[in-house]
Structure formats: C-alpha cells, structure tokens
Amino acid sequence: PAPIAMLRNRFRWQLLLKSNQAEQLHWLCEQLIAARQQLCGLAGRTAPGAPTKTGEIRIGIDVDPENMM
C-alpha cells in the first residue's frame, strides 16, 4: 500500500521499481502506458470488492519521483 493507504474513500497502492538498466524501466513504462486502457478496464474482475465501474482504477507513472508520499 501507499504511505496513505486510503484517500477520499479510495484505496491506493505504490510500486517502486529500481534497476541499474534505465532503458528497461523506460521500456516497461512505455508498455504500461500502451496497455493502460486494458489494465484499467473491468474485464475479468469478479472478485468480491473489485471495482465495478469504468474509471475506478487509475494508473500514474512518475519516472523520477522527488517525494514518495
């Protein structure tokens, strides 16, 4: 979870990826951006408590974060 796990009644998660090969991380970010529609869609989400409306899942990418809060 993120340092502030819930904000405005929404759960938040934070993922930090580190590597000594920046090109591979940039490639991964490009792939995530390209697949954003599919990742944030609702196809196959049947677990209890899973999002039920489009737009309930958001992805943000910060390639050079200054603050992790």
Kindly indicate the confidence band of residue 20, based on its pLDDT and cuts at 50, 70 and 90: very high
- Calpha distance 64→56 (Å, rounded): 25
Residue 47 is classified by DSSP as S
pLDDT value for 6: 75
Alpha carbon of 25 to those of 41, 51, 66: distances in Å? 23, 28, 17
Kindly indicate the confidence band of residue 27, based on its pLDDT and cuts at 50, 70 and 90: very high
pTM of the model: 0.57
Express each pLDDT in 29-53 by its tens digit.
889 888 877 777 655 555 555 555 5
